[in-house]
């Protein structure tokens, strides 16, 4: 489930359509994936779409098999597809 809905995205993006948030990812979902799979997962968890671009990420914590990741990215394509 995405951290932000489309309505929330529209309110939270900056002037460059960039958004940032902290997601929780189960460590098992990262084990077999490559970088592109992982970035797609981060996009789906943050905004509900693989269309998040220019993704940045930073691990900010971990607990009980979950990794907390601060994810940011350009939502332009996500918002265009929902228009």
Write out pLDDT tens, residues 38-58: 999 999 999 999 999 999 999
Distance (Å, whole) CA 18 – CA 35: 21
Residue 64 predicted with pLDDT over 80: yes
Q: Does residue 1 lie within any of the structural domains?
A: no
User: What pTM does this model have?
Assistant: 0.89
Q: Does residue 76 lie within any of the structural domains?
A: yes
Distance (Å, whole) CA 48 – CA 32: 21
Query: What percentage of residues in the chain have a pLDDT greater than 70?
Result: 99
* Number of folded domains that form the chain: 1
The pLDDT confidence band at residue 81, using thresholds 50, 70 and 90, is: confident
Domain hosting residue 15, numbered range: 6-82
pLDDT (mean) for 14-39: 92
pLDDT number for residue 49: 92
* Ordered DSSP codes for 1-66: --SS-HHHHHHH--TTSEEEEEEEEETHHHHS--HHHHHHHHHHHHHSSTT-EEEEEEEEEEETTE
Query: What percentage of residues in the chain have a pLDDT greater than 90?
Result: 70
Backbone angles phi, psi at 65, to 5 degrees: 80, 0
pLDDT number for residue 35: 92
Q: Does residue 77 lie within any of the structural domains?
A: yes
């Amino acid at each position: 489930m995405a951290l932000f809905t489309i309505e929330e995205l529209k309110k939270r993006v900056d002037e460059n359509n960039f958004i940032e948030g902290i997601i929780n990812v189960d460590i098992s979902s990262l084990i077999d994936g490559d970088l592109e799979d992982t970035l797609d997962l981060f996009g789906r968890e943050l905004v509900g779409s693989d269309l998040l671009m220019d993704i940045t990420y930073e691990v900010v914590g971990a607990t009980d098999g979950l990794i907390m990741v601060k994810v940011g990215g350009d939502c332009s394509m996500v918002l265009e597809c929902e228009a």
